[in-house]
Structure 1
Amino acid sequence: MPRADTIDGMDIGNIRSSERGSLHGRMLVAMPGMPDPRFARSVILICAHSADGAMGLRVDQLAEDISFPELLQQLEVLPEGHERLSDPGVRGIKVHAGGPVESGRGFVLHSPDYHNNNSTLQIEPGVSLTATLDILKAIASGNGPRTKFMALGYAGWGAGQLESEVQANGWLHCEADRELIFGSKLEDKYEMALAKIGISPEHLSSEAGHA
């Protein structure tokens, strides 16, 4: 798993110290007219947003054909047959599809009880992001964060691209909350996010304005 100090050309260290964009830490909700089928009915947490661009993780879709124990073996965090691979606390962790960019790269959204000074980015109070092997080793050993969301891949936008898509009514956005990020009912997250904006899915059209 690559280090988290660069994401799609953006230096996370600079994002920490530079002015954050208005969408940092918010949830994107796809409009019905979303032209990219990969993001139809998607809900995405924007983990970094600045003048350099944006990156986010989809929080409502499972990754296909891989379990967390299999991922730990692929990344050589634990060897095949290790006793921790059959532990319920490891087997119960779901792997999600965070986005189409670098789909083999792992990201963990988590509670702040885990922190790595070199690679953890605080998104909002109570929610952090780490993308190094260290956090997977901690989780595998039973010393990871209390709350976690594992994703492979991410969604990325170049400078000004996300703002343009929002202005073109490609996305709505709302405040993030723990249930939208960490909740297990993935199929409900789209309607939950719309409800936070005050919109019923049946009344939403591709011509609706953005929040």
Structure 2
Amino acid sequence: MGEGSETKPHYAGHRDRLRERFLKSPDTLPDYELLELILFRAIPQRDVKPLAKELIAKFGGFSEVLNAEPARLREVKGVKDATITELRIAREVGLRIAQAKVLKKEVIGSWDALLEYCSASMAHNPTEQFRILFLDRKNVLIADEVQQKGTVDHTPVYPREVVKRALELNASALILVHNHPSGDPAPSNADVEMTRQIVDTAKPLGIDVHDHLVVGKGRHASFRSMGLL
């Protein structure tokens, strides 16, 4: 073959076309193609469409892929550290955008965005995580912190540490949030007892517990709505 007669691999043209479609109408791309765009940077010399489809099939969806643990991602042939890094970057960008919609905002007026953020950050965690949303006197969210991480069905929570952190931040109220990796957001007896202990510790110091949200997969439970607070 003469000089200059080399042709691009078949996936090169596909990548160019996919990027063009994304720039014109990103909302029309199916999940596997959006995942392809993320994989392009990590795997520059290969057709990544089969891998994107395999990841979505294995984990059940685009969001589930972004939230998958690195050890499980590595079970898929072709997934290396560079791939995991790109997936983590995409996940973190999404979370920070969601967080920006609620942080420094009055929570009642941004309640739907708050639920969306809690679900995005916790619903697909393989282990329990307990986080606290700290509010000021005007119910503005001033801080969002992960207090504890636990096992698949238990997170140790220490009421005094929760209240101590609220005092450090000069918070007037709290919203407690934790996830159930099983996907069922129904509060357990242990959840109810732990919440009662936090309320009893916080109330004498003038700190209210506005709600305790339990996040499942696609669902959530509110202690306030259920009459448990």
Tell me the TM-score range normalised by the shorter chain. under 0.3
TM-score for both structures, normalised by structure 2: 0.20
> Higher helix fraction: Structure 1 or Structure 2?
2
- TM-score of the two chains, using structure 1 as the length reference: 0.21
| Relative contact order, higher structure (CA 8 A, sep 6+) | 1
